[in-house]
Structure 1
Amino acid sequence: MQGTRLGIIEKIGFGMGDAGNNMTFAAVVMYLSYFYTDVYGISPAVVGTIFLSMRFVDAVTDPLMGAIADRTHSRWGRFRPWLLFIPVPLAAACVLMFTTPDFSQGGKILYAFVTYAVMSLLYTAVNIPYCALGGVITSDHRERVSCQSWRFVLVGVAYLILNSGLLPLVEWFGGGDEAFGFQITMGLMCVIALGMYAFCFATVRERITPPVQSSRNPWRDLRTLAANPKWCIILSITFLQALQFFLRQGAAVYYANWVLGLGATGISLFVTLGVVGKMIGTAVSPLMTGRISKRSVFLGSTLLLILASALLFVIPGSTLIVATLVFILINFFHGIGTPVSWALMADAEDYGEWRNGHRLTGVSFAGNLFFLKLGLALGGGLIGFLLSWGGYDAGLEQQGSDALLAITLMLTLIPAAICVLMWGAIWLFGLDDRTMDRIHRDFEARSDARHAAEDDRASFEDDDMRPASTHPG
Structure 2
Amino acid sequence: MTQRRLGIVEKIGFGMGDAGNNMTFAAVVMYLSYFYTDVYGISPAVVGTIFLSMRFVDAITDPLMGALADRTRSRWGRFRPYLLFVPVPLAVACVLMFTTPEWSGTAKIAYAFATYFIMSLLYTAVNIPYCALGGVITDDHRERVSFQSWRFILVGVAYLILNSGLMPLVEWIGGDDEAKGFQYSMTIMSAIGLGMFLFCFLTVRERVHPTPTQHDRLAAKLKALAMNLKWRIVLGVTFLQALQFFLRQGAAIYFATYVLGFGTLGISAFITSGALASIAGTALSPRLSRRISKRKVFQASTLALIAASCLLFLVPGQWAIVASLIFVLVSFMHGVGAPISWALMADAEDYGEWKTGQRNTGVSFAGNLFFLKMGLAVSGGMIGLLLSWGGYQANVDQQSDSALLVISLLLTLIPAIVCLLMFWATYLFGLNDDDMDEVRAALQQRRPDDGTPSPAADPASGEASAYT
> TM (normalized to structure 2)?
0.95
Q: What is the percent sequence identity of the aligned residues?
A: 69
Aligned to 2:222: 222
Shift of 1:215: 5.3
* Cα deviation 1:287-334 (Å, max 9, x = unaligned): 000100011000100000100000000001110110000000000000
C-alpha separation in 1, matches of 2:112 and 2:222:
32
2:447 match: secondary structure:
helix
> Post-superposition shift, 1:212?
5.8
Number of the residue aligned with 1:370: 370
Asked if 1 retains the 8 angstrom alpha-carbon contact of 2:349 and 2:361, the reply is yes
Mapped partners of 1:173, 1:266: distance in 2: 19
How far is 1:219 from its partner? 2.3
Q: 1:446 offset after TM fit, Å?
A: 2.1
Distance 1:394 1:212 in 2: 56
Change (3 A) 1:177 1:145: same
Offset at 1:139?
Answer: 0.4
CA contact (8 A) 1:212 1:358 kept: no
Structure 1 stretches of at least 4 aligned residues deviating more than 3 Å after TM superposition: 212-215, 447-451
1:5 positional shift: 1.1
From the superposition, tell whether residues 318 and 449 of structure 1 become closer, same or farther in structure 2 (CA, over 3 Å). Answer: closer
Residue deviations 1:241-294 (CA, integer Å, cap 9, x gap):
000000110000000000001111111110000000100000000000010001
Give the Cα–Cα distance (whole angstroms) in 2 for the partners of residues 380 and 210 of structure 1: 37
- Partners in 2 of 1:18 and 1:449 — Cα distance? 31
Paired residues for 1:217-366 under 5 Å: 217-366=217-366
Alignment of 1:148-227 (within 5 A): 148-211=148-211, 213=213, 216-227=216-227
The equivalent of 2:61 in structure 1 is 61
One-letter code of the match for 1:277?
A: A
Aligned to 1:222, what secondary structure does the other structure show? helix
User: 1:17-56, aligned counterparts within 5 Å?
Assistant: 17-56=17-56
What is aligned with 2:437? Answer: 437
Cα distance in 2, alignment partners of residues 155 and 395 from structure 1: 30
| CA–CA separation in structure 2 for the residues paired with 1:270 and 1:29 | 16
Contact 1:2 1:138 in 2 (8 A): no
Q: Give the equivalent residue in structure 2 for 1:464.
A: none
Q: Does 1:74 align with 2:56?
A: no
For residues 37 and 448 of structure 1, do their structure 2 counterparts lie closer, same or farther at Cα, with a shift above 3 Å needed? closer
Cα displacement (A) at 1:450: 11
User: What amino acid maps onto 2:317 in structure 1?
Assistant: G
Inter-partner Cα distance in structure 1 for 2:241 and 2:4: 29
Change (3 A) 1:330 1:78: same
AA partner of residue 6 (structure 2): L
SS of residue matched to 1:138: coil
- Report SS of the residue matched to 1:313: helix
Alignment of 1:379 onto 2:384: no
For 2:424, the equivalent position in structure 1 comes to: 424
**1:395 and 1:189 mapped to 2: Cα distance?**
25
> Match of 2:286, as an amino acid?
P
Code of the residue aligned with 1:187 in structure 2: it is: T
1:89 aligns with 2:95: no
Alignment size in residue pairs: 452
Q: What is the distance in 1 between the residues matched to 2:215 and 2:6? A: 33
Which entry has the higher C-alpha Rg, 1 or 2? 1
Describe the SS at the equivalent of 2:391. coil
Judging changes above 3 Å, is the alpha-carbon distance between structure 1 residues 450 and 265 closer, same or farther for their aligned structure 2 residues?
closer
Q: Distance in 2 between matches of 1:449 and 1:286?
A: 29
8 Å Cα contact 2:29/2:249 also seen in 1: yes
Secondary structure at the counterpart of residue 15 of structure 2: helix
Residues in 2 aligned to 1:361 and 1:289: alpha-carbon distance in whole angstroms: 24
- CA 1:268–1:229: 2 relative to 1, 3 Å: same
Partners of 2:213 and 2:240 lie apart in 1 by 32
Q: Can you give the 5+ residue segments of structure 2 that lack an aligned partner in the other structure?
A: 455-468
Deviations 1:184-230 (A, max 9, x none): 00000000000000000000011111226575321221121011000
The one-letter amino acid of 2:137's match is I
CA distance in 1, matches of 2:313, 2:210: 46
Quick check: 1:137 aligned with 2:134? no
Secondary structure, aligned partner of 2:435: helix
Deviations 1:109-159 (A, max 9, x none): 000000000000000000000000011010000000000000100000000
Structure 1, residues 73-99: CA drift from partner, whole Å, max 9, x if none?
Answer: 000000000000000000000000000
2:15 alignment partner AA: G
| Structure 1: runs of 5+ lacking an equivalent | 455-473
**Inter-partner Cα distance in structure 2 for 1:59 and 1:4:** 37
Q: Hey, what does 2:122 align to over in structure 1?
A: 122
